[in-house]
Chains A and B, each alone.
Chain A
């Protein structure tokens, strides 16, 4: 049974695209295309009139057909680019259903593409991330994975691990009397390299996630440090209530901003101080909770405040009226706007470390978890290597690590390892 859905967002728009996919897609669509040029043997793209059951034309649209397996889903697929009037769209969908299609479930086109072997799992996830990404950089990461960028990086990590396993297996499968010079020396280096690369992948996941769903940046500091002034300055709107009375901001106020293409959810918090006021106490507690979950905290005028495990920058505010008595990362005036542009750079650079040079951008939680497990096992392997424990246990851990990387790309087989052994060493008497 063919499936049908509108692929463009709901609402009025210039153009909308309705997709029908399945064995009968072409037959179904032909029932409401006037003088249908569609056929099952070759793809067509043509401007056509769409007609209702009474033969009356209700829209003019570009009808494009793809023939299995050469389509996105791998099945016969028709795309109708009609005018973006919801009534037209629903009419097309109604007519398709009348002709025997059913409404597609969310993600079903991509699921079919996956099931039909058109996409591998990491590619399918990349499609999802392209669709749901909040920023252009996030889209770029998705597109990159779609073109196999992630797979490529993982392949290269995998192939260096396979070469380590090959070294070890060679040693295990060749008797001492036939053993060539010990080839283990390089293994340690390769394993350390791999740990570094996987660490970078994990870091990049956090960053990719920021590009896709935004980074959270929390402004903290003692009362009256000018947190709300800075907040307003950064969002360039009078959102927070700015007064001279301490503790004015009692709840957390959020606003989305954008620095160099990076979406940021900026949060203004209650001033941190000992307070008798219960309501304010709750506010301070919330500030702490926000700070602990943040990707970055901007700490105003308190050189000594920081949270473990959370990135932070110490900022001195009100440079227009006094100068800092201690060393701060940057000194600004939120009121006059002095150095605010520079602060934005500091914020951006703190979130996106330039150390991560990896091209790999992990785009899904599943991939992230796989890499994390792979990393764990390769670290286990490293400690076995250092402890000079049994070689076959070492292989076991590296193989498990490879197994987790396999869940992102193609499966590694025993033959891959043996091929590596045979191509590098003279095996056998």
Chain B
């Protein structure tokens, strides 16, 4: 007798960072949601480094937070050390990062899910039930079936996962965890194409085997701010990380044993990421560097297990150990487990719409590593969007699509669906052409309106953020409308080596000078009473200063955005037949047919598409006889 489960509206497959966000937000929006995980105890697991946030990633965590996501909140509750990176550079690239307690993080996640009343089922999804290109349900390995009208797949590295440690190969989704089989084949039978990617993780070592005196301790910020706007009273621990350095002996051992690495042994391996290279990659490709940094990070509070950041590897275990022992301070190092590389199936994300719904199968959404990305934050960003849009699909609402100038989340999805994936995709600030606007400090300004529209945040947080935004705008106006006297500012200007002023000048104009800060304006409390309340005062002053300092550049960008808007709104019909345009080069035509851009704006951003291809496309889109052929 076939077991049948309750009927659900939405099934989320996978309980990692993408899955949690997708399931929780849909649940919050009143969708009958089920989270299916192979192991209930692994829900919320952080498989690799013990940190959330970082360059570009910190910005994404803040965005996800405003969109009702939960990653920043969990991270705040499990922080071991909090730091804003890149403080020595411009403020648009300041990025918050938290070292976290990995054990605590997953405990908090599981507890929170239970509190919210989200249903979790332990089981392995093996295929989808699809009728007339629409999702109807999910089949589990035990033969049972869950009926639903939408699915979010967040399978991480589990699809046909294969671990490499030197010549040793293990079928697994993560170290010590079973891999998932069946989903790839099920999706292939629906016409979806997959590829193979690879990623790596470093060894975990015993704390007691390290001579800590030989490392250099690194601590967090003195007055850190939380990742989530929902976090109150943030006073985290400040446990140090320690840096050690490799040397030429380390490198020689690695170079002598390259053939033992799964990467260099000539096996037909999937592509790995260039930005998170294995130690063998670093030593081989960048042999001009005499030394590489290894950052030793605790995996949980006072943990015996230490993460060796910077030593991702797939060398034989013996060689890993031998080479690490050449590092000063690690002479007696002992492993808890070796580093490894993992190969897994992903699905080309160009098969998705900008809502993260499949172009081919209605009601099928995908998020996270299955789309060829890497990183907790990238997964979480897609998870929240897939969850929101799956709920919109079920509720028959307009989907949420973020533009490249709205958020890194928008940049991420736009890049994913339009670019060729040949390595796991990681976010960088340099991927965002509107980086100056996408700051971690203004995620609320950028996304609160959308968040309210879809009801993603609790009322209290919405109210507080609205107030903060309003006060920021008023503060900017105050600085733009009021003058500062030479008497008040000149002494300070001289101290800064800036030219003094002769006449009273607009505060905003003085503030635009690189070295001047808002505190130099000596704004009296009674002057700004109407503008400033105590809530988030520092943040408001900082934001107002930033808005004024960047205004020249940002106004220019806004003009550009307006110029290209017309293309973003120019829809290419779904059934548009590129074969009709004889004058396109074969290469461009193939790209258009494969990617099926939804708008002319998207078409322009496809790699290798030339302006002349777009001119031709525009000509055809405007030709009435052609439009007639489209049903």
Contact = CB atoms under 8 A, between A and B. Distances in A.
A415 B612 CA distance: 20
Contacts of B616: 115-117
Which secondary structure dominates where chain B touches chain A? Answer: loop
Interface stretch (A131-139, A345-353, A384-392): A384-392
**Most chain B beta carbons < 10 A, residue from A75, A121, A177, A417:** A177
A322 interface: no
Given A172-B86, A172-B93, A428 B277 contact: yes
A410 interface: yes
Contacts of B431: 414, 418
A175 B55 CA distance: 7
B240 to A, nearest CB: 12
Interface string B241-279: 001000000000000000000000000000001111100
A421 B286 CA distance: 13
B234 interface: no
B74 to A, nearest CB: 22
A392 B93 contact: yes
| Interface size, A (range) | 35 or more
Give chain B's interface residue range (CB within 8 Å of chain A). Answer: 35 or more
B436 interface: yes
B436 A117 contact: no
Nearest to B549: A390
A275 B615 CA distance: 60
Interface in A378-429: 387-393, 395-396, 399, 410-411, 413-415, 417-418, 421-422, 425-429
A171 interface: yes
Contacts of A392: 89-90, 92-93, 429, 435-436
Given A117-B616, A177-B218, A427 B274 contact: yes
Interface in B577-610: 582-585, 588, 607, 610
Interface string A302-319: 000000000000000000
A417 to B, nearest CB: 6
Interface string B146-178: 000000000000000000000000000000000
Contacts, number: 120
Given A117-B616, A391-B89, A172 B429 contact: yes
Interface stretch (B288-296, B330-338, B378-386): B288-296
B567 to A, nearest CB: 14
B295 A429 contact: yes
A177 B289 contact: no
Contacts of B91: 390
A174 interface: yes
B392 interface: no
Interface string B425-442: 000111101011000000
Nearest to A422: B274
Interface in B30-58: 54-56
Contacts of A425: 286
Contacts of A173: 55-56, 93, 428-430
B112 interface: no
A425 B613 CA distance: 34
Given A69-B583, A116-B616, A428-B275, 16 more contacts: A117-B584, A120-B612, A169-B428, A169-B429, A173-B55, A177-B85, A177-B218, A177-B293, A390-B514, A391-B89, A392-B90, A392-B429, A411-B611, A427-B277, A429-B276, A429-B293
Interface of B: 54-56, 85-93, 95, 97, 218, 243, 273-277, 282, 285-286, 289, 292-293, 295, 309-310, 419, 428-431, 433, 435-436, 514, 553, 582-585, 588, 607, 610-613, 615-616, 619
